[in-house]
Amino acid sequence: MSGKKRVTKLLIYAILIFLLAICIFPFYVMITNSTHSTSELYTGLKLLPGKEFLNNFRNLTERVNMGRGFLNSFIIAISSTLLSAYFGTMTAYGLYEYRFRFRKVIYSLLMVSMMVPGQLGIIGLFRLCRNMGFLDTYWPIILPSIANAGTIFFVYQFLETTMDENLLDAARIDGSGEFAIFHKIILPLAKPGVSTMVIFNFVSSWNNFFNPMILLFSEEKFTVPLLMNNLNSGMLQDLGAKYTAIAISVLPIIVVYCFISRYITEGMMAGAVKG
Amino acid sequence: MKEKRAKWGIIFCMPFLLTFLIFQLYPIAYSFYLSLTFQENSKTFIFVGMENYKDLLSDKIFWKSVANTWKIWLMCFIPQLVSALLLAVLLTQYRIKRAGFFRAVFYLPNLVTAASIGILFSALFDWQTGSINSLLVSMGILKEKVNWMGSPAFAQGITAFIQWWMWFGYSSILLTAGITAIPTEVVEASIMDGAGSFQRLIRITLPLLKPTMLYVLVTSLIGGMQIFDIPMTLTKGDGEPQKSLMTMVLYLYNMAFKNNDSPYGATISYGLFVIILLFSLLFFKVLYGKKED
């Protein structure tokens, strides 16, 4: 019996390690290739790291301003994330705490917003931005984060489990206004729930490709995914530099993930059980 | 007192409401209006009723893009569900050391920029300079380099593989959460009744996982029908070979933003919406319909 059990376990570990290898292999090749020169890459596969990373990096940055791309991506991701966290909590609190006339209407609008595919309004959005002079600016990329339905739902559910009405009543007796209550009590209270959403919103904003590609035109405003796309469809014959570009666009995410992976996967499990 | 405060609800929801109306609802309505017009020049649109929809229904490339999108989604989703389910069951039923570590690594591809991944795979599978050909030739598996991306079947297969690679870890985390949420009394009762582990899987775990599986199915369908980043970067936007990677959203993009035909692009987006809506409802019915009888 225990022999059979041991075989099963061995088989399970074999499956897990096989999948692990599949997950890591592309990243591994990406990193080693970024450390070889183009001529080395032409002569065959290099499974061990080389010494050409800095050369590749120099060749890449001579042609593409990757630093600028990172800065742009950062500006967009940070502002979108902050807007969705602040206004998402505000909307969730408004819906949770007050019984007002259009509450049900707003709740169903939220549902619609969750269900409708993102590409449905893309042509309309493009033409709207054109008419408003919003093309080639960050506004139409950042501002929609105010109405991030997923965040609102998540925070709403979080408030349901953590809210303590007595706290609010005490603050009201002390003469606090409703906005002061929101800032002093609700925001700190919702923080653990909001911070889970902050990570997911940051990642999805960082990786966002379709909308920025349609709405931005000047290369100095491009985010990292757009620069990568440019590199791909344009000039880059320099294979070493290409792999270097891919690697430096991906590595920051992997490095940050190494530190907070546990937090992310546990946050996801918690969210999944509730939703 | 409570009545008096009610107006604060609408005040707190106002930023959401305005943003939703301007950046979501209005563009959707505007797209619908555009889909009913013909574009004469950059400023004038003439109302033509359902003409664009008639064109769409007889547009061979559109139907090809629908077929491509479905093929890629099915080739990705079925292995994804099977592997995610297998992982979720294995990682919860057996005491696996470092289960959290495995889960974390399996989820990693999902966080990485899809555009970069598309470019990475197109470089790896390049005919002359790709690492995959170099590896296979140097190992003696291939005699000469293969033009992988010249074959429609391979191109669709590799796209499905990349999508599977990016999403199986995510799905398995959701399914794991679903399995852990099954009340322990139910599981213990079935063990008392003498159910083996396979029977337990079929009779208890899978039926109780239905809501989670429906969620995984519908979100995967919605995402899969809108697949864009990978085919775009893998083919530099042209959807080749033989238009096998021309997906619905890539076609929409090419029509609206390369051919500058906004009305037809908007028509495609509504076609996409109808397909997603119909099949989401259908899946919901199939999985939940029987219960209500």
Cβ-Cβ contacts under 8 Å, B15 against chain A: 87, 90-91, 146-147
Count Cα neighbours of B239 within 13 Å in the Cβ-side half-sphere.
Answer: 23
For A30, which residue in chain B has the nearest alpha carbon? B120
What share of chain B has pLDDT > 70, as a percent? 97
A202-215 pLDDT, tens digit per residue, is 999 999 999 999 99
pLDDT at A269 (0 to 100): 80
Read off the pLDDT of each residue in B183-187 and give the average, rounded to a whole number. Answer: 83
Written as six digits, the tokens of B193 are: 């009744």
Query: Nearest to residue B107, comparing CAs of A30, A31, A253, A76?
Result: A253
Place of tokens 């090419």: B254
The answer to which of A217-226, A243-252, B136-145 has the lowest mean pLDDT is B136-145
pLDDT at A236 (0 to 100): 63
Read off the pLDDT of each residue in A135-141 and give the average, rounded to a whole number. Answer: 97
pLDDT at A275 (0 to 100): 46
B124 vs A101: CB contact, 8 Å cut-off?
no
Q: Does the predicted TM-score (pTM) go above 0.80?
A: yes
For A42, which residue in chain B has the nearest alpha carbon? B129
Residues in a beta bridge with B46: B38
pLDDT at B200 (0 to 100): 82
- What is the CB neighbour count within 10 angstroms for residue A218? 7
Q: Is the peptide bond before A140 cis (omega within 30 degrees of 0)?
A: no
What share of chain A has pLDDT > 90, as a percent? 61
CA distance A253 to chain B (A): 7
User: What is the DSSP secondary structure assignment for residue B237, as one 8-state letter?
Assistant: T
**CB burial of residue A212 (10 Å; 0-12, 13-18, 19+):** buried
Mean pLDDT in chain B?
Answer: 90
pLDDT at A19 (0 to 100): 96
Angle, helices A187-207 vs A149-162, to 10°: value is 150
B262 vs A203: CB contact, 8 Å cut-off?
no
Mean pLDDT in chain A?
Answer: 90
pLDDT, greater one: A40 or A97: A97
Q: Is the peptide bond before B241 cis (omega within 30 degrees of 0)?
A: yes
Q: How confident is the model at residue B3 (pLDDT cuts 50, 70, 90)?
A: low
Read off the pLDDT of each residue in A171-179 and give the average, rounded to a whole number. Answer: 89
Cβ–Cβ contact B210 with A under 8 A = no
Q: How confident is the model at residue A57 (pLDDT cuts 50, 70, 90)?
A: very high
d(CA B168, CA B88): 10
Read off the pLDDT of each residue in A243-263 and give the average, rounded to a whole number. Answer: 90
Say yes or no to pLDDT of A273 above 90.
no
Q: Which of A9, A127, A239 sits opposite B30 (nearest CB)?
A: A127
3-state secondary structure of B45: strand
For A108, which residue in chain B has the nearest alpha carbon? B17
CATH numeric code, B52-287: 1.10.3720.10
**Which of A123, A153, A243 has the highest number of chain B CBs within 10 A, making it the mutation to test binding with B?**
A123
d(CA A143, CA A137): 11
Contact B88, B175 (CB under 8 A): yes
Beta strands in chain B (DSSP E): 37-39, 45-47
Non-local CB neighbours of A137 within 8 Å, separated by 6+ positions: A215
Q: How confident is the model at residue B130 (pLDDT cuts 50, 70, 90)?
A: confident
Q: How confident is the model at residue A136 (pLDDT cuts 50, 70, 90)?
A: very high
pLDDT at B201 (0 to 100): 83
Q: How confident is the model at residue A235 (pLDDT cuts 50, 70, 90)?
A: low
Query: Nearest to residue B204, comparing CAs of B220, B222, B185, B221?
Result: B185
CA distance B290 to chain A (A): 23
Task: Give contacts of B 75-94 with A, CB under 8 A.
Answer: 83, 86-87, 90, 94
Cβ-Cβ contacts under 8 Å, A26 against chain B: 117, 120-121, 124, 165
Say yes or no to pLDDT of A71 above 60.
yes
d(CA A142, CA A128): 15
pLDDT, greater one: B97 or A94: A94
User: What is the DSSP secondary structure assignment for residue B46, as one 8-state letter?
Assistant: E
Q: How confident is the model at residue B1 (pLDDT cuts 50, 70, 90)?
A: low
Cβ-Cβ contacts under 8 Å, B284 against chain A: none
Say yes or no to pLDDT of B203 above 90.
no
Q: How confident is the model at residue A147 (pLDDT cuts 50, 70, 90)?
A: very high
What are the structural domain ranges in chain B? Answer: 52-287
pLDDT, greater one: B90 or B254: B254
What are the structural domain ranges in chain A? Answer: 2-60, 66-234
d(CA B198, CA B205): 10
Give CA separation, A66 vs A35, A61, A191, B183, in Å. 18, 6, 33, 51
pLDDT at B293 (0 to 100): 41
Give me the CATH topology for the region A66-234.
MetI-like fold (1.10.3720)
Read off the pLDDT of each residue in B132-141 and give the average, rounded to a whole number. Answer: 85
The answer to which of A161-170, B48-57, B113-122, B152-161 has the lowest mean pLDDT is A161-170
CA distance A85 to chain B (A): 12
Cβ-Cβ contacts under 8 Å, B11 against chain A: 94, 178
Written as six digits, the tokens of A82 are: 């902050």
Size of interface A-B (CB pairs under 8 A): 283
